[in-house]
Structure 1
């Protein structure tokens, strides 16, 4: 009897049928999220409780794992595992896999795009024109600024490499791990860029890259971009108290996870102009419909960090390959670090 796979993530195979074709050609029966939106936890639990495998997005899977007696494998389309109850999965013998590399190019590019947008007030200017206004707002450049990166993992490192081309004064890295080796590599790259541009008559200094603690990151950064997973230690780490340490002209970018930034506190900080601007791609409750929508100095996007055609196709294909590899006894399965 063929194995049954439920796909809860949305979207799935929007631009390419490759992942679906892989599953079907390997004998799996596939049922896809029927809602055309992110499923709620109870909806996932009800729909997938009798399936053998789940291809999941960021839905909270705790209710499903609690009630299922048939599920053997969860394959996450993406890198974050905060929505997966890993301890409970271990207790019930449910394997967990993910796709940690495919997402990085798309998320890192979106983060830098939002950084430029927020600092230069691009979306704000677009809104003015649509209202018949024309103030030509001034903004800040990445070049010459201090840019903070919270989390120098797969995505954070790509962000740092993109930023070097903008010639920031410094990149401040905050991470629980010692990142001296990575920082040395980036410093060498910055020096080589300096030498190359010096020969062209450019008048600038190499970017300084240094690791700092969280308080220093808050106080000295002109912009901060977040690239850490949601955990007990990172939940609400950006709150009224910590954001009050940021510069008044600073911007905050979150393409990581909802819940890392306290949304109510962010609303007050932006409304009272205690920080200049922010961009949020992720929210505690999605789709988002809350009061942040009323703010002009905030850019809102639809948890679309992974949503480039190529990266999304790679993520879906790798998630399907994890399912096929697991049930086929093959070695091509990227299990979660805890497994």
Structure 2
């Protein structure tokens, strides 16, 4: 009987399906007993004698170094910055992930944070709770220029959601030529414009354009980050880059902590170089850093994937990857 340790937290909070998949196929399952994100040393100690690990965003380097039995890491989610892929390859440990299940929830959260930051929703809530009532003005997505850094599964979904708001332009920055996807989205934008024309709405049509990062930073009213954390993207959005941004701009990161330099962001927000920011991810989680002192930043708890349906799908797919790997069936391989 293969043994599976589950380090990710939470797991099966609202649905038992992932656990049922494992147990019905004869796996012995032990779930993170700490009720929080595990530290690298804790994962290494707890999972070193198991055959498979179902992991969240925990740093797994210590575990991979320590284990002599682990054969599979099955990530709940898509990011792989916490998995030492080269070391896994050298030790013959396979890696799986769930790249599609997370996209709907993260893209919707990113969109909601763009709206929140532009319209000062959270800021207004804080004012009321402190006895104030200034009715702060904000900006609409309609007529604004929105920048999307990274145009993979999630970035494309964010763009498709945005089109219904009729932004002036959606700017895309990606290492890959996205001409085909952009052409499809511009066709959708044209059809949305026709619907609004029939309703008597005199709005300008939206346009999606691929640009370099500097152009995106200088031109966008809101910027949403959707790239992986790598050695190349670490601190990509630093103080120097933030100086390029418009004073009314908002910055949203639902991708990975470390892409936006948190101390540089604090400085930029404190100096009013940019209007506001929304951060769902941090270098150290739970986050307790200086951004907590500022009113013009929205902080959420790495909850991009935390819709009931997407968490259920991610956990179930991670469990199915374990069953497929050991049973000779289908599983979502990391290349």
TM-score normalised by the chain length of structure 1: 0.98
> Which consecutive aligned stretches of 4+ in structure 1 deviate over 6 angstroms post-superposition?
none
Q: Does 1:52 find its partner at 2:61?
A: no
Matches within 5 A, 1:16-35: 16-35=15-34
Q: Does 1:334 find its partner at 2:332?
A: yes
The alpha-carbon deviation at position 204 of structure 1 amounts to 1.3
CA RMSD of aligned residues (A): 0.5
Aligned to 2:315: 316
Matches within 5 A, 1:34-73: 34-73=33-72
Aligned to 1:80: 79
Give the paired residue count: 335
**Alignment gaps of 5+ in structure 1:** none
- Alignment deviations for residues 10-30 of structure 1 (CA, whole Å, 9 cap, x no partner): 000000000001101111010
Counterpart secondary structure, 2:172? strand
Give distance in 1, aligned partners of 2:32 and 2:288: 22
Q: Does 1:138 find its partner at 2:142?
A: no
TM-score normalised by the chain length of structure 2: 0.99
Give distance in 2, aligned partners of 1:263 and 1:173: 23
The alpha-carbon deviation at position 200 of structure 1 amounts to 1.4
Counterpart secondary structure, 2:147? strand
Give distance in 1, aligned partners of 2:224 and 2:245: 13
The alpha-carbon deviation at position 205 of structure 1 amounts to 1.9
Matches within 5 A, 1:201-216: 201-216=200-215
Counterpart secondary structure, 1:253? strand
The alpha-carbon deviation at position 212 of structure 1 amounts to 0.3
- Alignment deviations for residues 199-220 of structure 1 (CA, whole Å, 9 cap, x no partner): 1111012101100000001000
The alpha-carbon deviation at position 197 of structure 1 amounts to 1.4
Counterpart secondary structure, 1:59? coil
The alpha-carbon deviation at position 39 of structure 1 amounts to 0.5
- Alignment deviations for residues 272-293 of structure 1 (CA, whole Å, 9 cap, x no partner): 1110000000000001111111
Aligned to 1:185: 184
